[in-house]
Structure 1
């Protein structure tokens, strides 16, 4: 009887304090990866940008870094890493393209693209989980490319067009015309990111493990 009462008390205590048996979703390793990939995006962001057209949106390697972050870390850690990068940049650290920073970026021509980064990483990461966990190895690269295209091209460019329509007062056709010139380059970046991610997942197959 004494043992039964003790077990009952223990179960009651655990119900009252669920955190006692649940580890936080982001452990030390996760936080380290989030920080490293946020720094990676920043490093790619401050590389020399190539101005294009008259709308003021430069070509950078950030799309590659953001998509790569999602493909390697998955949706939640990818979102967190890209979100950390965006928050630090908006605070004022000059880690956006052309060494810019601060909240003023949001009202510029690149504002929509900057806002998209966490969502790009999350979308690419969500589909990367399917590619890594369920796809045959022969199809993995193709599925990772598809994941990157959905995140980096579909999601990223939708945000970018919306940003130009709001900040530059462009019509939908005008915003599409301004945005579409970036698509070929971003497709190439996505393919490169997918190839890198496939190699990383072969070397570290537990990066997208089930929790």
Structure 2
């Protein structure tokens, strides 16, 4: 961790790949939203919060696109789903999804993309520990918004919404997967950086 820094480098992975024009930036934002939409369809059904591939996609988008483009990509994803495109989990859509038990996680996606992108702009994604910590930090942000929202929603639906019930419904089943995602990021991102850097020499 001693080599990690909070000083910005600004360059994230897509910049290294040459995505600097306005058209390229727009394409990357749309691609990030599309990746998240696709990952939302990888589902292990559970209620009220299913296990999906979304969070990995969100954190990957934030890390590779940077804070601003990552956040815009998540805002686009949420907006398109809200107006009716079937891109939320299991092809769902509409404002009722955002207002429902999982709406807080969707809002958390935007903030998580900002945080992971911010850390990537400080080169955290170029080291094993830094990439894993960035993913865990982004995950924590998603829960920080998602769990209180879930608790309120469960109470409105007449279900128990005490801390234990909320953690069981929206946190504990996901911890093993979150750890695996962080480990995967710790391997995938630094290796990708090395491959790209070699190719650009």
TM class, shorter-chain normalised? 0.7 to 0.9
Q: What corresponds to 1:40 in structure 2?
A: 35
Aligned-pair CA distance for 1:58: 0.5
Query: What is the 5 A alignment of 1:24-35?
Result: 27-35=22-30
Q: Which runs of 5+ in 2 are unaligned?
A: 1-19, 156-160
Q: What corresponds to 2:51 in structure 1?
A: 59
- Length-normalised TM-score, structure 1: 0.74
Q: What corresponds to 2:136 in structure 1?
A: 149
Q: What corresponds to 1:90 in structure 2?
A: 82
Aligned-pair CA distance for 1:46: 1.8
Q: What corresponds to 2:191 in structure 1?
A: 199
**Counterparts of 2:184 and 2:68, CA distance in 1:** 22
Aligned-pair CA distance for 1:194: 4.0
Aligned-pair CA distance for 1:57: 0.9
Query: Is residue 157 of structure 2 the alignment partner of residue 163 of structure 1?
Result: no
Query: Is residue 113 of structure 2 the alignment partner of residue 126 of structure 1?
Result: no
Deviations 1:126-182 (A, max 9, x none): 1122235xx9x6xx1210110110002x10111110111121121233322322221
Query: What is the 5 A alignment of 1:93-108?
Result: 93-108=85-100
Contact 2:66 2:120 in 1 (8 A): yes
Taking structure 1 as reference, are residues 149 and 126 closer, same or farther at Cα in structure 2, changes over 3 Å only? same
**Counterparts of 2:70 and 2:92, CA distance in 1:** 23
Q: Which has the larger radius of gyration?
A: 1
Taking structure 1 as reference, are residues 161 and 42 closer, same or farther at Cα in structure 2, changes over 3 Å only? same
Taking structure 1 as reference, are residues 80 and 201 closer, same or farther at Cα in structure 2, changes over 3 Å only? farther
**Counterparts of 2:28 and 2:188, CA distance in 1:** 16
Q: What corresponds to 2:44 in structure 1?
A: 50
Taking structure 1 as reference, are residues 177 and 104 closer, same or farther at Cα in structure 2, changes over 3 Å only? same
Taking structure 1 as reference, are residues 172 and 194 closer, same or farther at Cα in structure 2, changes over 3 Å only? same
Q: Secondary structure at the match of 1:109?
A: coil
RMSD: 2.0
Contact 1:67 1:190 in 2 (8 A): no
- Length-normalised TM-score, structure 2: 0.78
